[in-house]
Amino acid sequence: MQNMVIGIEGLVGSGKTTICRELLKKIPNTVLLNAGNLYRAIVYTMLKNGATLANLKRSGKNLDIREMIDLLKIEIKVENQETVVYSNGERLEEEDLQSKETSLAVSEVSNTADNQKAFGFVYELVEQLKKQYHVIFSGRAIMKIYPKCDYHFFVIADLDKRVERKCMQYKNREKEQEIRNNIIKRDELQRSSGFYEYDPITIEIDVTNCETIEDSTNQVLQKIKIAENV
């Protein structure tokens, strides 16, 4: 029985990563490929090594993401049903990869960088994982990277709901208005990068009125023919 690939994209702060992790509990023999963390690892490591956002924006057009994977010795490993990222042998923590600074820098860089070779790298990674698992693929431009997805979902929520969720994520370390402005800016950058585009198979999931993560996840599960594929 062939394993399936479930692509999950969404608006900034819509809760897509949380939905992905909940799906791991619901669908047997699954692994979460968080492709966005591969990109975040590159940008985070460059910032940590002294690059500034201004530097990254200026060099973006000449930035070959695949070359940076090799240069920074980026590795992907599977641990506890999820892919985790290592740079030069050091595991990069989720809190650092998901920080406001890293998130904004990633949105800026992805707007101009050469992503095509990186897309090929992730395609091969999906193919490898699919040999053993059902793959829950979280990231951007999923259908451009892996057009063979069995399902492709795009998670949305209204701005107020997304601001509320980000405030909870940052645990009041940032002011609400700053978070709102940051989401709006990242939305604009994602759209200009072509990362909010729908494919003919895309299924939109609106989680604005969902009270719990289980409610949000069930919207996705209802669309997946688990009995036929698992």
CATH of the domain at 130: 3.40.50.300
The verdict on residue 128 lying in a domain is: yes
Using only the alpha carbons of the chain, give its radius of gyration. Answer: 17
Give tens-digit pLDDT for 167-177: 887 776 678 89
The tokens for 35 are 């492709």
pTM for this one?
0.85
The verdict on residue 230 lying in a domain is: no
Q: For all residues of the chain together, what is the average pLDDT?
A: 87
The verdict on residue 94 lying in a domain is: yes
Strand positions, DSSP E, the chain: 5-10, 30-34, 74-79, 82-87, 90-91, 134-138, 151-156, 202-206
Number of domains in the chain: 1
What percent of the residues of the chain are helix, what percent strand, and what percent coil, each to the nearest 5? 50, 20, 30
The verdict on residue 51 lying in a domain is: yes
What's the mean pLDDT in 110-129? Answer: 85
The verdict on residue 52 lying in a domain is: yes
Q: Which domain holds residue 20?
A: 5-221
The verdict on residue 189 lying in a domain is: yes
Q: Taking the CA of residue 61 as centre, how many other CA atoms within 13 Å lie in the half-sphere pointing to its CB? A: 1
The verdict on residue 229 lying in a domain is: no
- DSSP H or E segment with residue 173: none
The verdict on residue 227 lying in a domain is: no
Range name among 41-55, 73-87, 209-223 with the lowest pLDDT average: 41-55
Q: Predicted confidence band at 193 (pLDDT cuts at 50, 70, 90)?
A: confident
The tokens for 106 are 């990633």
Q: What contacts 24+ positions apart, CB below 8 Å, involve 224-227?
A: 224/6, 224/27, 224/151, 226/27
Give the contacts of 103 (CB within 8 A, at least 6 positions apart).
Answer: 12, 40, 182, 186
> What is the pairing mode between strands 202-206 and 74-79?
unpaired
For tokens 């990186």, the residue is 118
Helix (H, G, I), strand (E, B) or coil at 57: helix
Give tens-digit pLDDT for 99-116: 878 887 877 777 677 778
- 183 with 12: CB under 8 angstroms? yes
